Structure 1
């Protein structure tokens, strides 16, 4: 990055009580210049570029990512809009993109994935800023993209070939003589390490975007900040009390899992070895216990809550609480049965097949209960699927039961202020209220609000809706209490 732009960036960050420093093994890192309290906004940034996650089954507006009342761009037949307002706001960028996509043969347009579109828009925006059609600002300029790490030297041959193929398609679409194929491939590598999934308030992915300032923030498996999105704006809030001169960290990955699982995920996608405080415990007694609980087997005694470790004599697995041996044969048989049933399970069942899918996943759950620890991640994931499907078919009581099973696991595997815990309490509260358990609903909604106000703030439409539901539930609970007297 040019020295003048770096100086401008430092001034921008200083105005927000932040600063950038280079750390060994980490590179650029974001630090605080004052104390931050839980829930305080540390940094926010609009995307340099972004696109919705359009698929063959679901399309989103290019401007607001909504899915209602969409009309396809009549020229390129790739992009969707919900109305003239979004179309106008996107037109400066889409005008050149539209021409480029229209030149492409119709058969080839189906290969224009969100990631390909993101790259096309990257170069179009760079050109428009160079031509002064779009403004260049301290936080919205291509130099910030150039400064991002690509890890090109660590990419294997197979991935490099994929990037080359994608670069060829981008080049075919753009037809910019000045664009170098290797540069495009390197930017794809930057996307892999730096692009963020843009999620709604309930953490459901809606699109992808490049937020170069946010990308300065490093990963930790025990982060002190959280990244959420308000529409397409990336917002980083403090999860804990962060003291002055501390490094700000967020989580790049799903942190519910053993150290080995997390390290594998980080290495595969982000090409680095995490050395955070949590990962530094690898191989220590607590880490071994946690890994065995989250990803290992349960004790043969159903009443025992102990975790199992491999028997030194290779006969099976020994419970570290009651010392009961669970044979390899028993574990192998259950694992085999589970694999057979799991292979039949649909990942996205249709509405017509949902009831059958529920029964199948219940069978999977029963086998997992026999095989895994009650706090295991695989069991948690199955129950998450069951909860979603039961909600879809409006079987509320069973859905609530699963919600209550999931919450304690979330509380174990995530930090106390993690938004997923808050969202689960929100779901639980809504179900309790729907089923007439008003007192319990108030308790759950309070817990949801106390957590989500930290990650989501209090002024967003989502939080205002939650607050209104809480007040309404409180009023109903008070009325019921008065009626009893």
Structure 2
């Protein structure tokens, strides 16, 4: 395999305490593209078939029966899944992870040189944290391997069991959920070079998607020699929650400035100002209740409202656990086409989001998009356009001014 050709302006180095990392060799301004990386392999979510092109992940008007045929170069992957689907019919139901690994195996069998996705890091060299996995994750990998054999054994030659365990572990740690401008899940992909980015809860770059390409853009000024940091997780939640998530999925604890100072934690778990002071035990009990409710509830509006009612005497409306419930309630209202209810919850979520998330956050942009479109649907056009303009200002930084999402939003705002 040929030697790495590298990426202009970007250096790989040993980051103290973090292993491999990336740093810049020149200055980058806010909104500037550092580099892009095509997906090594990817799968479209089954729910998006007929709406998104299977090959390039762009919106299309074609029918679901032709989601592959517009791109001859993807015939080998079409053949792989089509044969399996024909055999199993309606019983063909591998997980997205299994489908992705099947495609990776098929590609590895024929790959003879370094791919454009591996300018800095080969897929086989991605971290898998095999030694850090608990029994639950080991059992999950075994279940994935069983699914792979069940659905693809007649169409693929598999590597040995240990190699499969390693590959699934690597995908667990390095797989990316590809999202659109409203953060809806489009599919699953792997980008080896992007996997070199280390995490910080104070990120200086953001990863967004242009079709099947991941783009890394600056959301802070970055000076020569500085390391590039993205965020692996949702930054809304307080330090303890973030650390638990990072340990559970990525096997490390963050030591960034925000995790050390916990400067936003009090804002994120705001409590009511009452005549009788709320004790620490009561706060801890309510945090525990909120965490359990977030984990267990089944997106029922009644349960969201009951949870909000239960938490409201103690937690402020800007408390992130209340915000989570209100965001879920908004989603349920949208599903039920209760747009007035969706706006009511969205307005309660919007202002705290702008305080708790970084300025150039996809979460804030997606909320402005949702709210803008809701307002317009409810004949509140001027309010809707104002919200869309705020979304556009963020999107031009995180996606780039020439991105399809930006162009489409401008057309939408002009009524085209």
Find the aligned partners of 1:440 and 1:128 in 2 and give their Cα distance.
54
Structure 2 CA distance for partners of 1:149 and 1:405, relative to 1, 3 Å: same
Partner of 1:164: 142
User: Are 1:90 and 2:74 matched, yes or no?
Assistant: yes
Aligned to 2:247: 267
- Equivalent-residue separation in structure 1 for 2:90 and 2:132 (angstroms): 34
Distance 2:53 2:163 in 1: 29
Match of 2:123 among 137, 145, 156: 145
Q: Say if 2:44 and 2:54, in contact at 8 Å, map to a contact too.
A: yes
Matched residue, 1:248: 228
Partners of 1:439 and 1:164 lie apart in 2 by: 54
Are the counterparts in 2 of residues 33 and 244 from structure 1 also a CA contact under 8 Å?
Answer: yes
> SS at the partner of 1:244?
coil
Greater length-normalized contact order (CA 8 Å, ≥ 6 residues apart): 2
- Trace 1:37-436 onto structure 2 (pairs within 5 A): 37-54=29-46, 62-65=54-57, 70-71=63-64, 81-82=66-67, 84-86=69-71, 88-99=72-83, 101=84, 109-110=92-93, 112-130=94-112, 136-140=114-118, 144-171=122-149, 173-174=152-153, 179-282=159-262, 286=263, 290-295=264-269, 297-301=271-275, 310=280, 316=282, 346-347=298-299, 357-358=300-301, 360-436=303-379
Which position in structure 2 is the counterpart of 1:26? 18
CA–CA separation in structure 2 for the residues paired with 1:298 and 1:212: 46
Aligned length in residues:
413
Distance 1:344 1:129 in 2: 44
User: Which residue is 1:455 aligned to?
Assistant: 398
Residues 270-304 of structure 1, C-alpha deviation per residue, up to 9 Å, x if partnerless?
1111122211225xxx4xxx4354346434359xx
What is residue 480 of structure 1 aligned with on the other side?
none
Q: TM-score, normalised by structure 2?
A: 0.85
Q: TM-score, normalised by structure 1?
A: 0.74
CA-based RMSD: 3.6
Give 3-state SS (helix, strand or coil) of 1:278's partner: helix
Distance (whole Å) between structure 2 residues aligned to residue 431 and residue 56 of structure 1: 22
> What CA deviation, in whole Å up to 9, does each residue of 1:170-213 have, x standing for no partner?
35634766712101101111011101001112111111001001
Unmatched tracts of structure 1, length 5 or more: 73-80, 318-327, 348-356, 474-485
2: distance between equivalents of 1:374 and 1:346? Answer: 22
User: Which secondary structure state, in structure 1, belongs to the residue aligned with residue 313 of structure 2?
Assistant: helix
Give the superposition deviation at 1:256: 0.9
Structure having the higher Rg: 1
Q: Distance in 1 between matches of 2:61 and 2:37?
A: 26
Q: In structure 1, the residue corresponding to 2:12 is in which secondary structure?
A: strand
1:335: how far off? 9.0
User: 1:471: Cα distance to partner?
Assistant: 5.0
- Listed one character per residue, the Cα deviations across residues 117-153 of structure 1 (whole Å, up to 9, x for unaligned) are 11111111011224xxxx7535358971111111111
Determine helix, strand or coil for the equivalent of 2:26: coil
| Cα distance in structure 1, aligned partners of 2:178 and 2:224 | 29
